[in-house]
Structures are given as structure tokens and as C-alpha cells.
Copies of this chain bind each other. A is one copy, B any other.
Amino acid sequence: MTAAASELGFVMSYHASSLASGRSHNIGVVLPFVNRWYFATLLEGANSALMDAGYDLTLYDFQGDRYRESVLGDFLLRKRLDGVLAVSLQLNAHETEQILAAGIPVVGVGGPLPGIPTLRIDDVEVGRRATNHLISLGHTRVAHLGGEHEYGRNFEISSGRRAGYEDAMAAAGLPLREAWSLISDYSANDAYKETKQLLADAEERPTAIFCASDEMAFGAMLAARDLGLRIPEELSVIGVDGHEMGEILGLTTIDQFPRSQGTRAVERLLALVQDDGDAAAAGPADELMETRLVVRSSTSAPRIPAGQPGA
């Protein structure tokens, strides 16, 4: 296209171009919730990388499971996408086959998706590290607030972090109480309710809680404050994600750099797309991303006021 043409306001038709070439310069991003910090931030990263490469981003938000079927069964198969980024998505055999049969390159984040190259953090290790941080401070009464089983299809993650928690507790010879293993829907509000209930009984109260996301940790911190418990003196809290608001709450967390996950996943996907599905060119099938423990003021050695049960 000449400069003169573009100055006249001429713009090429991408429909025609797509039809003729088979390339649409359009990537689909599939995720369970746009309105959770982790996903929104990862999406931002993906968006940056795609804009920079001149690609459009088509968003498919399951909104829990509400649109799961129609996205997987209809939208993704319309052959208008050069590739799909699947975030925290768990596919069954039929679904995987259907997508791959459509000939669309897919990269997953937070998998594993069998047969699909995936980017992820080591969730078991994250759970272990968070729990060990608390244990190394001297805590023996450690609770865990994880993700809902109901969302298990999309959130296999939560079981990994829980496994790491149980692992670390066992390795330290510490007791796992059923009452200390909480399940929420990953929202701050639900975490607040669960934590308030957990902390209500002074006898059974843990001295520390490991939350599988920062948003849940926010809820836990607020619940503790509302019960008059001091953080970290009477309750230590650690989260996962690296949410900016953690700074002003003083939340100790394991940062997983979701933005970088988004840009890296797009890099991988575009490599696949541009090398025409040649998986080898795109790097390892299972790529592990960095995480980092960020210690702030929400965790410390347990300093339990007199009259409380203690370690």
C-alpha cells in the first residue's frame, strides 16, 4: 500500500484479506472472569503484546461457567481466530479434540492442558513456599483458604496450592485440621465470611492463614480487623498474586507477575501462529514462570496476648 493511498484515507479490508490469506490477525483470549485482578492484569499484558504485534484481541469471558459451552462449542470454532490463549482453562478430551481439529493453535496459561503448550507457575511449590514462610516464623497453627471445588474445571490451580500447603505442614510435622482448610469462590467478600467464621472460636483459632489469592487475603485481613485481631501480632496473613493494593495493606504475598505471564503467553502463541503450527519453534511444552516472595507487615512471628491458646 502506498503512502498516498493511506493519506487519502484508504484502509484495506481485513475481511477480504482474511478470506484470501487465511490469516485474520486476531487472537482469542479465553478466561473465566475478567473482573478478578489476576485475570484482568494478565489480560492487560496480553493486550500489550498483541497491540504491539498489530493483532486484534477477541475476548471470551466465561463469567464463571455461564458462557463456557457457547464459547467452546460455537465461538472458538468460527475460524476467525489465528490462535487462542486459554487462561486457567481445563478442557476435557472432547473439547481439546474439537479445538485442535479446528486447526487453531492454542497456548494455555495455568494448565496443564494435555497436548497443548502451557505456561504456568509451580502451584504446589507456591503453596509450599507460602506455608513454609509462616512455619519458619514460628507458626504451628496455620490455616488455608483456597478455591472452590465447584470451579474445579477452571481452577485446578487451587488444588495445587492446597497440596503444597498440606505438604509443607506434613514435612514440618504439623497438624492439619479440617476446620482450618477453607474454601471460597476466590472473592474478597466470600473470603471475609469464611475467615470471620474461622476466627470466631478463640480456642480453635489459627495464628496464621495462607490465602490462595491476594483478593482473598484482603477479605481475611478485613475479617480479622473487624474481630479486633491485630495483624500480624494475632494473625499472620499471606496471599498469592502481587496485587498492587497489597502495598497499602502491607500484605505479604507471592508475586506471580500476571502481566508478564500475559505478554509471554502471547509471544509463545504468535511464534506458533507465525511458524504455522510448528510446535518445536515455540519453546518447551510446559514452561515454568517465576514467582517471588514479597514480605511485608502482615506476617511475623506469632505474638499471642496472654490468655490465648498458643503454640
Q: Which residues on A are within 8 Å of B, measured CB to CB?
A: 9, 11-16, 18-19, 24, 26, 34-35, 37, 40-41, 43-44, 47-48, 51, 54, 56-61, 63, 66-67, 70-71, 74-75, 77-80, 98, 101-102, 187-189, 192, 218-219, 222-223, 225, 244-245, 247-249
Contact = CB atoms under 8 A, between A and B. Distances in A.
In terms of DSSP, what is the predominant structure of the interface of chain A? Answer: helix
A35 B189 CA distance: 19
Contact of A78 (B11, B44, B189, B192): B11
A25 to B, nearest CB: 9
A77 B11 contact: yes
A248 B19 contact: no
A222 to B, nearest CB: 5
Contacts of A12: 78
Most interface-central of A12, A41, A57, A187 (chain B CB within 10 A): A57
A15 B80 CA distance: 6
A83 B269 CA distance: 28
B51 A40 contact: no
A94 to B, nearest CB: 12
A97 B93 CA distance: 50
A234 to B, nearest CB: 16
16 contacts: A16-B19, A35-B40, A35-B43, A43-B59, A43-B61, A44-B63, A47-B61, A47-B67, A51-B71, A54-B74, A56-B58, A56-B75, A56-B80, A57-B60, A189-B247, A192-B248
